[in-house]
Amino acid sequence: MLVAAVLTAAGAAGAQERVAEDQTPTGKFLTATEVRPILTATRANWVSVREYGGEDLVYVTHLIAWRCGLYEIRYAINGGQMRQWPVPECDPEAAQPAAIPDGAQVYEVHAAGSVQQITVELLYDDLSVETASFERAAVLMP
């Protein structure tokens, strides 16, 4: 059953209309119904910061791996404007739909010590939204 709901993604460049996807469980973790409990339970792993080569690297590897069931990943650094992270398509026919495809952007480079806080907003494919904020110390990789 397809839910007849439409959302205009506010805050994203070039607002897009979204329609809620069918939430029938597939057993392949392709829908918000299937991935939301995992992402909620692993919220502390949504992002990480790594100091490397004199720069801050902000990683969203965990979210990219669990991208099936998501329409968008939006984020803001240090309270700045929300931006959209590029999310690769989910291939439901692949043997491992959640495998991170070659060339997927899993990190972003920032000036050393500049990333103090990250806010992440997930738009699930059922049109629900989940938001979390992370302080640098909580997500800094050793």
DSSP label of 140: B
pTM of the model: 0.85
DSSP label of 86: P
Tokens of 116: 């103090």
For every one of its 142 residues, what pLDDT tens digit does the chain have, with 9 covering 90 and above? 223 333 444 444 334 688 988 888 888 888 999 999 999 999 999 999 999 999 999 999 999 999 999 999 999 999 999 999 999 999 888 888 889 999 999 999 999 999 999 999 999 999 999 999 999 999 999 9
User: What number of H helices and E strands is found in the chain?
Assistant: 3, 9
In 3D, which of 103, 98, 99 has the Cα closest to residue 86?
A: 103
CB–CB of 120/46 below 8 Å?
Answer: yes
